[in-house]
Structures are given as C-alpha cells and as structure tokens.
Amino acid sequence: MERKKAAEISRSTRSTGMGAKNDSYLYSIKQEKELAPHKSRSSRTGNHGTKTWHLFPGRYWEARISRSNSGKGGWSVSILRINEDLTESHEVATIPEWLKPLLPKSALQEVEPVPYE
C-alpha cells in the first residue's frame, strides 16, 4: 500500500506584547474543526515562532491575523488548497456558518475575505 504524501505548511507567528500580532489558524472543511499544528516553535523571548502543519491534498480554511503595534491590519480568511503536487494556492470564499464559532472572537469583527499575500 502506497503512503499518501503530505505538504509541510509553515506560518510564522509574532506577538510583541505592544499590540502587534501575526498568527495563523487552519480548519478542516471535512471535519469542521480547528487543526492543531504538528510542530510549534518559539524564540527564547516567546515573541516570535513558527507553526507547522502536515496537510494532505485538499481544501482547508485558513484565518490569519496581521496587526502592527499601532493596531493597523486585521484578519483575512480564505480557502487554502493543497494541490496534488503539494503546492498551495488560496481562494476567496464566503465564511460558512460552522466556521464562525471556531474563529477567534476578534476575527469576526475585523475579517476581510481576501487571501493572504
């Protein structure tokens, strides 16, 4: 039996304690739940880090926050597609009702339905 290959998807995180924050959350469309990262690393200070997921080809919801110390920025929510060749692409879509309770509360107040660039 051949094993399926998974893509390794990494996202950087940042939290300065002064209001700046960068973070990512992934959600399974099939299971309708948040996916925990397979690996999570942080710097000695805890201000910077990396989250890594191993994902099979398919579609997942991705929510990202990107906010500066001055409070500029906000949330973006998009569909993350892992292709058969293990590359990734993003699609804009309307947030489904089942996902809204799973998102952090501040995401629903500031969400922009555009993919992360």
Q: Is residue 23 part of a domain?
A: yes
Model confidence, pTM: 0.80
Residue 58, pLDDT score: 94
Residue 99, pLDDT score: 85
The chain-wide mean pLDDT, for the chain, equals 84
Provide the residue range defining the domain that includes 35: 7-112
* Domain CATH for 95: 2.60.40
Q: Is residue 2 part of a domain?
A: no
Residue 106, pLDDT score: 65
pLDDT in tens, 14-35: 887 777 788 899 999 999 999 9
| Whole-number Å distance between alpha carbons of 57 and 104 | 26
pLDDT in tens, 43-71: 888 789 999 999 999 999 998 888 877 77
Residue 107, pLDDT score: 64
Q: Is residue 16 part of a domain?
A: yes
Q: Is residue 11 part of a domain?
A: yes
List the one residue out of 60, 65, 69, 49 whose CA is nearest residue 106: 65
DSSP 3-state of 34: strand
Mean pLDDT of 70-79: 80
Could you tell me which residue, 109 or 41, shows the higher pLDDT? 41
User: How many structural domains compose the chain?
Assistant: 1
Q: Is residue 84 part of a domain?
A: yes
Quote the tokens at residue 66: 């990107």
* Rounded percentage of the chain residues whose pLDDT exceeds 90: 43
